[in-house]
């Protein structure tokens, strides 16, 4: 049997995994049954990017809002009718927690009647088989997968299949969702689903789509890995104009979005997890009027997405200004500035920077300067016993990197010269092996009371006894401390940091005695 908890732990990002723990703790403390559901399960099993975490609780999550906030999550939106709360989890993880519910559609185009239910009933109201699974996160059944519609089999067959014949009639937004998933995964609609889809299209069911669903679907575009392809497919099917009557692929800044997704991948490869959503929305609506953009923003339920999208240009301008100022006068200062900036701003500015110097600095930050890290002489540092176990190591490695970036350490020799004073004293010799009792007894009769130990073996023993586990010798230790102190100001403004090192790099021997005399 597949171990879905293991697969989940393997596939989620560290932030997402912590998010699962956070939601689990809150639900458990409230005595509510909790399941990971929908797209998250689909993506965990299929191997696609897990963009957000969908949780379902038996009971209303609305009453857990304060508990979530206390646990460190931010509530970004609340949908009262479906009892769903949207969370921004610490780090860059998003989640939604919904109440397990049934939805009864009485009239096309009217919101369904929502009733609390069990998780089993809840799975029946879902859109496609691959989205109708739940993984128990409860004590006693943790890891149990509920898959009443054979979603795993459809993932394996790579098929999008509705749960019943009325799926598109009940909720026409499923037509857009079907196209979006088919485009994203490159999975076709299953034969009967395709037939129902075609009939729904012909019958213009889409005219009955709810406004709230439009907002939800627009927001979903922000997190597509290939938004351009999805938009083109939506346009081809006639759904893009449903999302907004003026939306065509011509309104999209194609070059911008292509560059954005390329840089995003580059950053992901470097270990960053920028949320490209706001920038994607910016480029998807580049050629809209401000009024149209504002109208679209009003439809999107996730306030955090809308807010970040609204602010993106201003924040990018601010960062660009700082990158052109004193704060980024040297490569090391630029590195520090960009390292402390939000990855999403670095990403957006990398693509939109108007000033060549800003563009070049970000380019260096993401490419050229990374190679400088390889100049840190790690093998020699290990030989010098400068290893991560040393408390000063992180700062030292950082300082060396900054000096290398600024060209203040220009060769391996200079770098080692800088590093040597920080080398800790060698460890004390290992204690002599303990002699067995039998050997001691055998030795006793021959030894006269008070006589010295035998020369060969006893000599060693005598030595260790004479100098028991010596603390680090006074001289080298004070030297390390001295050097560490000298290195301290380097943590603050890099300008101050650069000076002593450059001197030590250029004329190390001549400088030291001078200071001592003073």
Q: 126, 100, 95: which is closest to 32 by C-alpha?
A: 100
Q: Are 20 and 7 in contact (CB under 8 A)?
A: no
Which residue's CB is nearer to ligand ATP, number 52 or number 190? 52
Find the shortest distance in angstroms from Cβ 28 to ligand ATP: 22
State in angstroms the smallest separation of the CB of 261 from ligand ATP. 16
**Shortest distance (Å) from residue 30 CB to ligand ATP:** 22
Nearer to ligand ATP, 220 or 252 (CB): 220
- Note whether 349 binds ligand ATP by CB under 6 A: no
Shortest distance in whole angstroms from residue 184 CB to ligand ATP: 8
Residue 500 CB, shortest distance to ligand ATP, in Å, is 52
Helices (H), 47-124: 65-70, 119-123
> CA–CA separation, 67 vs 30, rounded Å?
9
Q: Is 302 in the site for ligand ATP (CB under 6 A)?
A: no
The residue within the footprint of ligand ATP, chosen from 16, 52, 237, 353 (CB under 6 A), is: 52
Give the helix/strand (H/E) hosting 135.
strand 134-136
Q: How far apart are CA 208 and CA 200, in angstroms?
A: 11
The 3-state DSSP class for residue 77 equals: strand
Spell out the residues 6+ positions from residue 232 whose beta carbon is closer than 8 angstroms to its own.
183, 249
Contact flag: residue 174 with ligand ATP (CB under 6 A): yes
Q: Per-residue x/- marks for ligand ATP, 16-45, CB under 6 A? A: ----------------------xx------
Size of the site for ligand ATP (CB under 6 A): 14
With binding defined as CB under 6 A, does residue 220 bind ligand ATP? yes
* Packed helices 494-506 and 508-517: angle between N→C axes, nearest 10 degrees: 110
Sorted by sequence, the CB contacts under 8 Å of residue 412 that are 6+ apart come out as 375, 377, 380
Q: Please choose, out of 47-55, 255-263, 270-278, 352-360, the segment that lies near ligand ATP by the rule CB under 6 A.
A: 47-55
Q: How far is the CB of 123 from ligand ATP (least distance, A)?
A: 8
Question: How far are the Cα atoms of 427, 441, 461 from residue 431, in angstroms, in the given order?
Answer: 11, 21, 8
User: Smallest distance, Å, CB 82 to ligand ATP?
Assistant: 9
Does residue 415 touch ligand ATP according to CB under 6 A?
no
Cβ neighbours, 10 Å, residue 466: 7
Q: What angle do CA 281, 286, 289 make, to 5 degrees?
A: 110
Q: Which stretch binds ligand ATP (CB under 6 A): 112-120, 171-179, 198-206, 442-450?
A: 171-179
Q: Is position 126 an interface residue for ligand ATP (rule: CB under 6 A)?
A: yes
Out of 147, 171, 275, 344, the residue judged to bind ligand ATP by CB under 6 A = 171
For 284, residues 6+ apart whose C-beta sits below 8 A from its C-beta are: 221, 227, 231, 251, 252, 253, 257
Q: Which residues contribute to the site for ligand ATP (CB under 6 A)?
A: 38-39, 51-52, 54, 126-127, 131-132, 171, 173-174, 177, 220
């Amino acid at each position: 049997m597949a171990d879905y908890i293991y697969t989940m732990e393997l596939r989620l990002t560290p932030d997402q995994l912590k998010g699962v723990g956070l939601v689990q703790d809150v639900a458990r403390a409230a005595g509510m049954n909790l399941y990971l559901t929908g797209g998250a399960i689909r993506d965990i099993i299929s191997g696609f990017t897990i963009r957000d975490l969908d949780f379902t609780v038996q009971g209303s999550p609305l009453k857990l809002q304060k508990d979530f906030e206390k646990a460190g999550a931010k509530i970004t939106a609340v949908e009262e009718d479906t009892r769903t709360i949207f969370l921004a989890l610490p780090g860059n993880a998003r989640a939604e927690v919904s109440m397990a519910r049934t939805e009864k559609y009485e009239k096309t185009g009217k919101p369904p009647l929502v009733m609390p239910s069990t998780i089993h009933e809840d799975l029946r109201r879902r859109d496609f088989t691959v989205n109708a699974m739940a993984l128990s996160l409860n004590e006693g059944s943790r890891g149990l997968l509920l898959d009443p519609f054979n979603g795993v089999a459809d993932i394996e067959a790579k098929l999008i299949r509705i749960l019943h014949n009325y799926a598109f009639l009940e909720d026409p937004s499923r037509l857009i969702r079907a196209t979006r998933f088919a485009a994203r995964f490159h999975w076709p609609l299953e034969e009967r689903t395709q037939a129902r889809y075609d009939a729904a299209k012909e019958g213009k069911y889409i005219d009955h789509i709810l406004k709230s669903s439009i907002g939800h679907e627009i927001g979903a575009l922000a997190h597509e890995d290939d938004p351009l392809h999805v938009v083109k497919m939506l346009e081809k099917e006639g759904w893009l104009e449903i999302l907004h009557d003026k939306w065509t692929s011509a309104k999209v800044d194609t070059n911008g979005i292509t560059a954005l997704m390329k840089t995003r991948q580059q950053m992901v490869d470097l270990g960053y997890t920028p949320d490209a959503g706001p920038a994607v929305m910016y480029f998807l609506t580049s050629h809209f009027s401000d009024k149209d953009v504002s109208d679209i923003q009003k439809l999107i339920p996730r306030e955090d997405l809308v807010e970040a999208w609204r602010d993106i240009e201003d924040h990018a301008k601010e960062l660009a200004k700082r990158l052109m100022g004193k704060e980024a006068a040297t490569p090391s200062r630029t590195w520090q500035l960009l390292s402390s900036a939000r990855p999403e701003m670095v990403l957006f500015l990398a693509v939109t920077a108007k000033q060549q110097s800003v563009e070049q600095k970000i380019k260096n930050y993401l490419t050229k300067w990374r190679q400088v890290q390889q100049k840190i002489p790690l093998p020699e540092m290990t030989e010098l016993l400068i290893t991560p176990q040393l408390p000063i190591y992180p700062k030292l490695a950082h300082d060396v990197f900054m000096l290398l970036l600024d060209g203040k350490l220009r060769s391996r020799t200079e770098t080692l010269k800088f590093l040597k004073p920080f080398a800790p004293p060698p460890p004390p010799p290992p204690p002599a092996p303990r002699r067995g009792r039998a050997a001691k007894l055998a030795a006793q009769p021959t030894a006269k009371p008070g006589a010295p130990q035998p020369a060969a073996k006893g000599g060693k023993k005598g030595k260790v006894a004479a100098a028991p586990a010596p603390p680090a010798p006074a001289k080298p230790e004070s030297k390390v401390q001295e050097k560490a102190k000298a290195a301290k100001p380097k943590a603050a403004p890099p300008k101050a940091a650069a000076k002593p090192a450059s001197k030590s790099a250029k004329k190390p021997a001549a400088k030291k005695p001078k200071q001592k005399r003073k």
